[in-house]
Amino acid sequence: MDQESLELRKAGLKVTHPRMRILHLFEESPRRHLTAEDIYRQLLDSQEDIGLATVYRVLTQFEAAGILIKHNFEGGQAVFELDRGQHHDHMIDVDSGKVIEFVSDEIEKLQHEIAERHGYEIQDHSLVLYVRSKGSKKK
């Protein structure tokens, strides 16, 4: 049994052709963050007969099963990435829409210190920085 079939079964999902193809696209994509339209275009390019409604349905199922994480970054479409259990934060280039992942132990530590100072304990968090290249002109 291949890894993708195993992952679907482990998530409690039936192994179907659309699920297998969509999971495979995420596994093989050089880009980690994909929209439903990105997936649909790739399926069309490879002559797959999987409709956009099916793509949305599968992405929703994958999110509910913990296979994908959905991000709704400001000013853009929802993007999905495989949930590999490794926390990271994001920077979004406001000019190009490019998503950059980063990890910072210092930022993580500071966030916990701030929460504790206010009498809280962080349960989960998401940090998104909206950035512009230093050399680019403001739009």
Residue 89 annotated as binding site: yes
**Residue written as token pair 């297998």:** 20
Q: Is 87 annotated as ligand-binding?
A: yes
For residue 92, list its beta bridge partners.
Answer: 99, 130
Contact 74, 121 (CB under 8 A): no
Binding residues: 87, 89, 108, 125
| Residues flagged as binding site for Fe cation | 87, 89, 108, 125
